[in-house]
């Protein structure tokens, strides 16, 4: 992805927190009894709870997977750590090279890690949520020892209605130049928000078409379908494959195929989705 701004430290200056903002954040950490010597996040969600957050942000995850994953493995961005969080600052996914992922996991930064001030002290993600804007934080400006060797920039991600989708952070070793990360994050944020808007528009069109089709299923048949079977059928009518449906619903492909067979049996059709469409067009 090309940069839209020149690479220099002046890029960061407008986005650093003021001394007053940092002092206030550090005071809150002290009030919350967060230790400056903290070396690991204090709150990491259990896998079962994390799964609920992943499902709620499935669209955002699908989009960022496509846009960020290639960047994290090659080019000038391969030393970056991309941290995607939901609106509650729960880490949904970390994009980085495999060796970096191993290193971050060792210090407790992984999917499920909560980046609130209570959990991690002063950090860019918590400040971005507090102030509602892109924030840059140098290593020494962090409150806890956990992030003293990290330089970070974080920004809110918003949907077409200006609601918070989540937060995106770019972190790197404190010795790296932070000036490049700010314009890169601004470009990436703009791209994600634009693509999300297009995705929503497309899904709304698909939903309208699928709803029309689903509404033609006889009520005596529709009641036989479970809620999950309705979910699977809706996605199949969107044109998604079993693999894509499994990804959307966080199921295995084998499970989705099982649901498909049950749906076809209950509807009494053969020929898969084409058979369903043919049945409903009668």
Domains along the chain?
9-199 (3.30.450.40), 216-280 (1.10.10.10)
pLDDT on residue 214: 62
pLDDT at 7 over 70: no
pLDDT at 116 over 70: yes
pLDDT, mean of residues 26-54: 96
* Residue 150 pLDDT level (bands cut at 50, 70, 90): very high
Position with higher pLDDT, 199 vs 129: 129
130-147 pLDDT, tens digit each: 999 999 999 999 999 999
104-114 pLDDT, tens digit each: 999 999 999 99
* Residue 3 pLDDT level (bands cut at 50, 70, 90): very low
pLDDT at 275 over 60: yes
Position with higher pLDDT, 7 vs 128: 128
**Which of 33-47, 192-206, 257-271 is the least confident region?**
192-206
56-73 pLDDT, tens digit each: 998 899 889 888 988 877
pLDDT on residue 54: 93
pLDDT, mean of residues 68-93: 87
Chain mean position to CA 80: 17
Position with higher pLDDT, 216 vs 95: 95
Determine what percent of the chain is predicted with pLDDT higher than 90: 46
101-114 burial code (b ≥16 CB/10 A, e <16): beebeeebbbbbbb
* Residue 217 pLDDT level (bands cut at 50, 70, 90): low
Contact 22, 190 (CB under 8 A): no
pLDDT at 2 over 80: no
This prediction has a pTM of 0.70
Dist CA 209 CA 230 (whole Å) = 15
pLDDT on residue 240: 79
* Torsion over CA: 266, 231, 243, 281 (sign): positive
pLDDT, mean of residues 165-192: 87
| Beta carbons within 8 Å of 153's beta carbon, 6+ residues apart | 12, 15, 124, 134, 135, 136, 137, 169, 170, 178, 181, 182, 185
Position with higher pLDDT, 253 vs 168: 168
CB-side neighbour CA atoms (13 Å) of 251: 21
10-22 pLDDT, tens digit each: 555 667 788 899 9
Average pLDDT, the chain: 84
pLDDT on residue 183: 87
| Beta carbons within 8 Å of 3's beta carbon, 6+ residues apart | 180, 183, 184, 187
225-267 pLDDT, tens digit each: 887 888 888 788 777 788 888 887 878 889 889 988 888 888 7
Determine what percent of the chain is predicted with pLDDT higher than 70: 80
């Amino acid at each position: 992805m090309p940069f839209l701004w020149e690479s220099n430290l002046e890029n960061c200056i407008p986005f650093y927190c003021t001394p007053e903002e940092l002092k206030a954040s550090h005071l809150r950490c002290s009030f919350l009894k967060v230790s400056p010597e903290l070396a690991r996040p204090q709150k990491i969600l259990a896998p079962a709870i994390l799964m609920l957050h992943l499902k709620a942000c499935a669209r955002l995850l699908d989009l960022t997977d496509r846009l960020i994953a290639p960047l994290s493995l090659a080019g000038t961005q391969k030393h970056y750590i991309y941290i995607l969080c939901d609106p509650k600052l729960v880490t949904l996914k970390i994009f980085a090279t495999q060796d970096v992922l191993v290193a971050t996991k060792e210090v407790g930064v992984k999917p499920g890690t909560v980046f609130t001030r209570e959990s991690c002290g002063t950090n860019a993600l918590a400040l971005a949520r507090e102030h509602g804007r892109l924030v840059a934080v140098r290593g020494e400006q962090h409150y806890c020892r956990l992030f003293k060797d990290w330089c970070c920039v974080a920004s809110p991600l918003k949907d077409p209605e200006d609601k918070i989708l989540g937060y995106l952070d770019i972190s790197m070793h404190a010795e790296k130049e932070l000036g490049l990360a700010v314009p890169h994050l601004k470009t990436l944020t703009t791209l994600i928000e634009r693509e999300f808007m297009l995705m929503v528009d497309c899904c709304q069109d698909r939903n309208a078409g699928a709803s029309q089709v689903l509404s033609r299923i006889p009520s005596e048949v529709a009641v036989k379908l479970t809620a999950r079977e309705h979910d699977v059928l809706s996605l199949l009518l969107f044109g998604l494959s079993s693999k894509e449906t499994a990804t959307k619903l966080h199921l295995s492909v084998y499970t989705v195929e099982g649901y498909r067979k049950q749906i076809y049996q209950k509807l009494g059709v053969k020929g898969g989705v084409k058979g369903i469409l043919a049945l409903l067009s009668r």
